[in-house]
Amino acid sequence: MDMSQYKSLFLSESREYLKTIADQVVALEQAPAERSAVDALFRGAHSLKGMAASMEYGDVVVVAHSMEDLMARVRDGALCFEAGVADLLLEGVDLIDVMLADVEADRECTPPPGDFAERLRGYTPAPPKKQAPAGEPPAEHPAPQAQPGGEPEKAKEPAGEASGTVRVKTELLDHLINLTGELVTNKHRLLNVAQEVASPALNDAVSETGKLLRALHDEVMKVRLMPFEAICDRFQRSVRSLAKKSGKEINFELSGREIGMDRGMLEQLVDPLNHILRNAVDHGMEESAERAAQGKPPRGTVKLSVSRDRDRISIQVSDDGRGMEPQKMIEAAVAKGVITPEEGALLSPRQALMLSCIPGFSTAKVVTDISGRGVGMDAVNAAIQKLGGTLVIESEPGQGSTFTLRLPMTIAIIHALVVQCGNVKGAVPVTGVLRTVELARHQIETMGKRQMFQLDGEAIPLLSLNRVLGLPLGRFPNGILPLFVTEAKGRRVGIVVDRFLGQHELFVKPFGRPLCKMAGLAGGATLGDGEIVTILDLAGLL
Amino acid sequence: MATTVMIVDDSLFMRKMLRDILTEEGYEITAEASDGDEAVARYRECRPDLVTLDIVMPNKTGIEALQIIMALNPQARVVMCSAIGQESMTEAAAKAGAKAFILKPFNPELVARTLREVAEG
Amino acid sequence: MIPERLILFILGGEEFACSLQQIGEVMEPQQSYPFAGAPAHYLGLINFHGNLTALVDLALYLGLKSRPLPGKLLVLDPRLAHLALKVDGVSAIIASDLVTGEEPGDDPLTEAYLETPRGRVRLLQLEALIDELENGLKQPPARI
């Protein structure tokens, strides 16, 4: 029998089982006696084994089989579900995940470490724990940790092909949204024509088409929505292993996992959120002893909560750790030469906290092995802005910090302010525009080398977008400078352009090679008349 | 008229494989179910000539589903699907009225022969 | 390995070639739109079947003397890159069995020099060209 035809189904279903296993491991850590989770875990490993055996992927079979046997011991009461079991199962999940990637790429399978099966087979429960430190709830007693988000889920199975559902390839979904976007662009073209010919009948027809398109767009977007849950297990696992590594005791609470978001967006949120969580565990959280000395519960809490407010998604990461001191942030930034002392003096506490988003800025005294890797807060901020979102940092020294991300539910279609600079047109997502101002030349004040203007009692520096983009400077013959106010380096800046061309509904297309490598561009879009504009990534530019 | 079959397995992958093997052999797949409850419900609706029933499933195991199906129709022809290592289950299934067993991973010829034998009674 | 079929084109008086398989379409010049912050060899963006495609003046990039437009646009297969190359003209499409001689190239962009019925041509390595263009964009744009 030719099994190659089943490969993609094998891969997608196996990955669902892996996710189920990882989810249930985490759920069981919160409530080790939950029968349905034990059963689901066992079934997950069992099904994986059966599928891999059919495909003749022997290494996957070996790993899945030993996981199944280990879970059978738990199910039959021979073994308690405890941290050691969880570690082994998650290790197995990671091993299989790597092997699946090999299968997918038609590579030779990375063999599992020879002793993995042996370790599972020979696993014996750890000796009883030594007396827990005073004030800490005994580990066997999970009640104080129980919270809405952390409750064991009702054991879930990978979504099968229940009646009324179909499986669709993700490329097809991407294609659908592309076509819808093209239609929206075309509607604007029609609108332009309708205005030229001044035909009320045509206008009506186009506006009706516009309504239908909006409905179509909403439906297509709904199809692309995936629950936040799809990426949750990674966070649970990374917080867990990070806490373990740093020897801190941390309670991780998750809520809002059912909230739906565009799948493309979810993928791009994994790294930024992981980074924020890492920071929270690694820098934000104190050691138990330090916490106890301050009268805090020795076990710290990190919360990740997702909520929806109409068409915006809000994601909050908060911790009850040591918090950040704005004054210290300013001192560090000045010491590093990121800002001048004068600039530092002008910053509000909230603005000071945003200093961590400036490239090259890190308040950690020593870059530790954990948070030192990968992206910094500047990259986090840039990634969020690229998605059309915003980041706000709040912190209370001694009480903890909260990072709030606000994002559109979907990414493909954005509202943007289109501006002209020299011969170039660019679009700025309105989420990055605090307001627009038409400034008379006499309102400009010169302070040292900088030009500023007053807005709501604050002196705001001016920057020319032409200069940033390397274009000839604008002339402004009528003495009026159009500018928009945005936030950069934690404070407001006025960005002067040649002309505003209005607000547009744009269907954003990512760039392919080579432009995808260009800093400062977040993609492009076609205007109603067929003209192409680039979407400016202000965080990357400024 | 083609012999009708209902395939019960919680894995879509396994159902697809069985469906392909059986369709090739000329069977008509009239129903599929992905757990024990669904198996019973679908059996009531379509009364297929044959059922292939997986053992390890959520919401009622294959054994539990088998008992109900046999109660609904003592003449039901049910073939259990089980993986190596579940020998203890096969005894319970035989007692409950299963007509035969097929082992995972499926061997197409063996699956075809077993089902033919069960269908011809 | 010489590609099975080659497209021959002219650039600053020189004869070039690349694999026909990597070219999605040869187009007449069309309206392009300038974009911000790009090096001078980028003429702008064009819309190629819905893909926003960067248009590069290949002669300028290679330091050759470009002839003024019209010329032709070689649009790369969108699976490789969203890139179109402006060249002076396309001269022929030939099969590899017409190549009578081959000499190794002397820079990363030149895969080989080939002897063809149209004389000696420089076989461009498009993958390397895309890589180079990408690397050239990685530096942040002009700072304030």
Same domain, A200 and A264: no
Res A417: pLDDT = 93
Res A383: pLDDT = 79
Query: Which C residues, 37 through 76, put their C-beta within 8 Å of a C-beta on chain A?
Result: 37-38, 44-47, 50-54
Which 3 state secondary structure label does DSSP give B52?
strand
Residue of chain B whose Cα is closest to the Cα of A53: B105
Is the CB of residue B39 less than 8 Å from the CB of residue A79?
no
Among A390, A408, A426, residue at a domain's last position: A408
Is the CB of residue B101 less than 8 Å from the CB of residue B80?
yes
For residue B80, how far is the Cα from the chain centroid? Answer: 5
d(CA B98, CA A442) in angstroms, rounded, equals 93
Number of C-beta neighbours around residue C73 at 10 A: 23
Do chains B and A touch, with touching meaning 3 or more CB–CB pairs less than 8 Å apart? yes
- The mean per-residue pLDDT over the stretch C101-117 comes to 91
Bridge partners for B33 per DSSP: B8
Contact B10 A9 (CB under 8 A): no
Which 3 state secondary structure label does DSSP give A421?
strand
Res B105: pLDDT = 85
Is residue A153, in this structure, part of any structural domain at all?
no
Do chains C and B touch, with touching meaning 3 or more CB–CB pairs less than 8 Å apart? no
Is the CB of residue A498 less than 8 Å from the CB of residue A467?
no
C-chain residues near A182 (CB < 8 A)? 50
Is residue C86, in this structure, part of any structural domain at all?
yes
Contact C50 A182 (CB under 8 A): yes
Question: Could you tell me the pLDDT band of residue A360, with boundaries at 50, 70 and 90?
Answer: low
Of B14, B17, B58, the CB nearest to A43: B58
Question: Could you tell me the pLDDT band of residue A366, with boundaries at 50, 70 and 90?
Answer: very low
Same domain, A311 and A191: no
Contact A514 C35 (CB under 8 A): no
- Reply yes or no on whether the pLDDT at A82 is more than 50: yes
Contact A53 B12 (CB under 8 A): no
Is residue C108, in this structure, part of any structural domain at all?
yes
Question: Could you tell me the pLDDT band of residue A162, with boundaries at 50, 70 and 90?
Answer: very low
Residue of chain A whose Cα is closest to the Cα of C34: A424
Is residue C144, in this structure, part of any structural domain at all?
no
**Chain B touched by A54 (CB under 8 Å):** yes
Minimal C-alpha gap between C2 and chain A (Å): 24
Is residue C21, in this structure, part of any structural domain at all?
yes
Cβ neighbours for A163, distance < 8 A, ≥ 6 positions apart: none
Res C82: pLDDT = 94
Res A491: pLDDT = 81
Is residue C129, in this structure, part of any structural domain at all?
no
Is the CB of residue A395 less than 8 Å from the CB of residue A389?
no
Strands (E) in A280-347, as ranges, are 300-309, 312-319
B-chain residues near A1 (CB < 8 A)? 21, 108
Residue of chain A whose Cα is closest to the Cα of C132: A514
Percent with pLDDT over 90 in chain A: 21
Which 3 state secondary structure label does DSSP give B60?
coil
Number of H helices, E strands in chain B: 5, 5
Is the CB of residue A32 less than 8 Å from the CB of residue A80?
yes
- Reply yes or no on whether the pLDDT at A96 is more than 90: yes
Per mean pLDDT, which range of A144-153, A330-339, A459-468, C90-99 is the poorest?
A144-153
Residue A44: name the closest of A102, A82, A9, A92 by CA. Answer: A92
Return the domain boundaries, chain B. Answer: 4-120
Res C142: pLDDT = 42
Question: Could you tell me the pLDDT band of residue A389, with boundaries at 50, 70 and 90?
Answer: confident
Question: Could you tell me the pLDDT band of residue A428, with boundaries at 50, 70 and 90?
Answer: very high
Contact B13 A39 (CB under 8 A): no
- The mean per-residue pLDDT over the stretch B37-46 comes to 92
**Chain B touched by A159 (CB under 8 Å):** no
Question: Could you tell me the pLDDT band of residue A347, with boundaries at 50, 70 and 90?
Answer: confident
**Chain B touched by A171 (CB under 8 Å):** no
d(CA A116, CA A256) in angstroms, rounded, equals 36
How many separate domains does chain A show?
A: 4
d(CA A344, CA A330) in angstroms, rounded, equals 6
**Chain A touched by B106 (CB under 8 Å):** yes
Length of chain A: 542
User: A200-258 pLDDT, tens per residue?
Assistant: 888 888 888 888 888 887 788 778 788 888 888 888 888 888 888 888 889 999 999 88
Edge-to-edge strand ranges of the sheet holding A400-408 = A250-255, A300-309, A312-319, A400-408, A390-396
User: A294-325 pLDDT, tens per residue?
Assistant: 899 989 999 999 998 766 789 999 999 998 88
Same domain, A61 and A206: no
Q: Which structure tokens are listed for A486?
A: 């945005």
- The ipTM is 0.91
Same domain, A180 and A274: no
Is residue A333, in this structure, part of any structural domain at all?
no
B-chain residues near A43 (CB < 8 A)? 10, 56-58
Among A204, A226, A248, residue at a domain's last position: A226
Q: Which chains share 3+ C-beta pairs under 8 angstroms with C? A: A
Same domain, A251 and A391: yes
Is the CB of residue C9 less than 8 Å from the CB of residue C16?
yes
For residue B78, how far is the Cα from the chain centroid? Answer: 5
Residue of chain A whose Cα is closest to the Cα of C133: A514
Which of A507, A532, A537 to mutate to probe the C interface, most C CBs <10 Å? A532
Same domain, A97 and A192: no
Question: Could you tell me the pLDDT band of residue C139, with boundaries at 50, 70 and 90?
Answer: low
Per mean pLDDT, which range of A18-22, A153-157, C97-101, C128-132 is the poorest?
A153-157
CATH at residue C40: 2.40.50.180
Q: What's the whole-number average pLDDT of chain A?
A: 81
- The mean per-residue pLDDT over the stretch A340-358 comes to 82
Write out the residue range of the structural domain in which residue C18 sits: 5-121
Is residue C137, in this structure, part of any structural domain at all?
no
Question: Could you tell me the pLDDT band of residue A109, with boundaries at 50, 70 and 90?
Answer: confident
Phi, psi of A406 (to 5 degrees): -115, 130
Question: Could you tell me the pLDDT band of residue A150, with boundaries at 50, 70 and 90?
Answer: very low
Residue A209: name the closest of A235, A197, A191 by CA. Answer: A191
Q: Which chains share 3+ C-beta pairs under 8 angstroms with A? A: B, C
**Residue whose pair of structure tokens reads 């030149």 in the numeric block:** C110
- Give the DSSP letter string of C76-143: EPTTT-SEEEEESEEEEEEEGGG--EEEE-SSTTEEEEEEETTEEEEEE-HHHHHHHHHHHH-SPP--
Q: Which chains share 3+ C-beta pairs under 8 angstroms with B? A: A
C-alpha distance from residue A267 to each of A181, A234, A271, B115 (Å): 21, 12, 8, 45
Which 3 state secondary structure label does DSSP give A280?
helix
Residue A527: name the closest of A20, A55, A175, A188 by CA. Answer: A188
Q: Which structure tokens are listed for A272?
A: 């930024």
How many separate domains does chain C show?
A: 1
Is residue A160, in this structure, part of any structural domain at all?
no
d(CA A90, CA A237) in angstroms, rounded, equals 9
Phi, psi of A141 (to 5 degrees): -120, 85
Question: Could you tell me the pLDDT band of residue A193, with boundaries at 50, 70 and 90?
Answer: confident
What's the burial of A517, exposed, middle or buried (CB within 10 Å: 0-12/13-18/19+)?
middle
Of C35, C78, C139, the CB nearest to A512: C78
- Reply yes or no on whether the pLDDT at A157 is more than 50: no
Length of chain C: 144
Write out the residue range of the structural domain in which residue A456 sits: 413-541
**Residue at A51: amino acid letter:** M
d(CA A509, CA A520) in angstroms, rounded, equals 15
- The mean per-residue pLDDT over the stretch A367-392 comes to 64
CATH at residue A492: 2.40.50.180
Residue A25: name the closest of A280, A234, A228 by CA. Answer: A234
Is residue C107, in this structure, part of any structural domain at all?
yes
Same domain, A248 and A232: yes
Q: Are strands B28-33 and B4-8 parallel, antiparallel or unpaired?
A: parallel
Is the CB of residue C78 less than 8 Å from the CB of residue C2?
no
Of A463, A517, A541, the CB nearest to C134: A517
Is residue C111, in this structure, part of any structural domain at all?
yes
CATH superfamily entry for domain B4-120: Response regulator (3.40.50.2300)
**Residue at A102: amino acid letter:** D
Same domain, A216 and A247: no
**Residue at C9: amino acid letter:** F
Res A351: pLDDT = 81
**Residue whose pair of structure tokens reads 């702008």 in the numeric block:** C44
Res A315: pLDDT = 95
Minimal C-alpha gap between A222 and chain B (Å): 24
Cis peptide before C70 (omega within 30 of 0): yes
d(CA A298, CA A292) in angstroms, rounded, equals 5
For residue B15, how far is the Cα from the chain centroid? Answer: 10
Residue of chain A whose Cα is closest to the Cα of C49: A182
Is residue A197, in this structure, part of any structural domain at all?
yes
Res A137: pLDDT = 44
Q: Are strands C72-76 and A532-536 parallel, antiparallel or unpaired?
A: unpaired
Give the CA count within 13 Å in the CB-facing half-sphere of A443. Answer: 17
Question: Could you tell me the pLDDT band of residue A146, with boundaries at 50, 70 and 90?
Answer: very low
Strands (E) in A256-299, as ranges, are 260-262
Bridge partners for A140 per DSSP: none
Is the CB of residue A280 less than 8 Å from the CB of residue A321?
yes
CATH at residue A268: 3.30.565.10
**Residue whose pair of structure tokens reads 């912050």 in the numeric block:** C37
- Kind plus residue range of the DSSP H or E element containing A226: strand A225-227
d(CA A39, CA A46) in angstroms, rounded, equals 10
- Reply yes or no on whether the pLDDT at A510 is more than 90: no
Number of C-beta neighbours around residue A141 at 10 A: 9
User: B52-102 pLDDT, tens per residue?
Assistant: 999 989 888 899 999 999 988 999 999 999 876 666 677 788 888 898 888
Which of C33, C61, C77 to mutate to probe the A interface, most A CBs <10 Å? C33
Q: What's the whole-number average pLDDT of chain C?
A: 88
Strands (E) in A360-490, as ranges, are 390-396, 400-408, 413-421, 424-429, 435-440, 445-447, 450-455, 458-464, 480-488
- Reply yes or no on whether the pLDDT at A385 is more than 80: no
**Residue whose pair of structure tokens reads 């800046």 in the numeric block:** A493
**Residue at A18: amino acid letter:** L
